Copies of this chain bind each other. A is one copy, B any other.
Amino acid sequence: MNAATLPIITAFESSPDQGQGMARDMRVRWALEEVGQPYDVRLVSFETMKQPAHLALHPFGQIPTYEEDGLALFESGAIILHLARRHTGLLPREADARARAVTWMFAALNTVEPPIVELEQAEYIAGDRPWYAELKAMLENRVRVRLAQLAARLGDADWLDSAFSAGDLMMVTVLRRAEDTGLLEDHLNLAAYVARGKARPAYQRAFADQLEVFVRSRPRAP
């Protein structure tokens, strides 16, 4: 694939997390780095994300999207699964091991991420309400349950199902969204698992690339 036909992903023009790598393009960047696939990035603003051109690519007006030779995808899980089928390095070759790794992708996105994102969202929608503290405590308890179950399963293994896979890539990025809650610190093995993911050279390249977008977009000091 030459430069003229590089796949293109979308990412926030102005990173809401100030370059901490919490946005979902980080997952796709990391996967692209793991498989060694160069790519281009098109930056979108919160305004352009709601315009028809972007909605044609992503019906829910979010990032990331992925375009390649006439194929347009959205949803980080679907994009990473697509990359995993085109390249080696994200899923085991053996069919049963592959199905188990895919299971961890879905577990990250449908079982572990929702209560974490909900805790985050509650602050946006109800952070100024007198009852927010009570709601927050309830939502934290749900996250605690999920983290305890995940920690019990991981035990002292390095990755969720023997070798590193797209399931771990997804789970590490999901757990990173709980970093600011302090809840991850209850489980040393989960904290070490996240650190192990972040130590991968592909993660570090992806992180540096998304951070650069933020640094470039930041207004310069006078």
Of the candidates B60, B71, B103, B114, which one forms a contact with A146 in the assembled complex, judged by CB atoms under 8 Å apart? B60
Q: Is the CB–CB distance between B60 and A82 below 8 Å? A: no
Which of B81, B109, B150, B152 contacts A110, CB < 8 Å? B109
Cβ–Cβ < 8 Å partners of A74 in chain B: 103, 107
In the complex, the answer to whether A111 meets B149 with C-beta atoms within 8 Å is no
Q: Any chain B CB within 8 A of the CB of A61?
A: yes
Bound CA span A28–B153, Å: 24
Does any Cβ of B come within 8 Å of A199's Cβ?
Answer: no
Q: Is the CB of B73 within 8 A of A103?
A: yes
Contact in complex: B59, A75 (CB < 8 Å)? no
Q: In the complex, what residues of B have CB within 8 A of residue A81's CB? A: 99, 102, 106
Residue total for A at the interface (Cβ-Cβ under 8 A): 45
Chain A, range 121-170, C-beta contacts under 8 Å to B: 121, 125-126, 129-131, 134-135, 138, 142, 146, 149-150, 152-153
Asked if A113 is at the interface (CB within 8 A of a chain B CB), the reply is yes
Give the shortest distance, in Å, between A83 (CB) and chain B (any CB). 10
- Choose one: B114, B117, B131, B150; the contact of A131 (CB below 8 Å): B131
In the assembled complex, the CB of A11 is this many whole angstroms from the nearest CB of chain B, namely 17
Contact (Cβ within 8 A) B113 A110 = yes
Partner of A96, one of B55, B70, B107: B70
Interface contacts beyond A59-B149, A71-B96: sample of 18 additional A-B pairs, CB < 8 Å, sorted by A: A55-B149, A55-B153, A60-B146, A60-B150, A61-B149, A73-B99, A73-B103, A76-B106, A77-B106, A78-B99, A78-B106, A82-B99, A82-B102, A109-B109, A118-B118, A121-B142, A131-B134, A135-B135
- For this complex, 14 residue pairs linking A to B, each with C-beta atoms less than 8 Å apart, are A59-B152, A61-B149, A71-B99, A75-B110, A77-B110, A78-B102, A81-B106, A109-B109, A110-B110, A110-B113, A114-B114, A114-B118, A126-B138, A129-B131
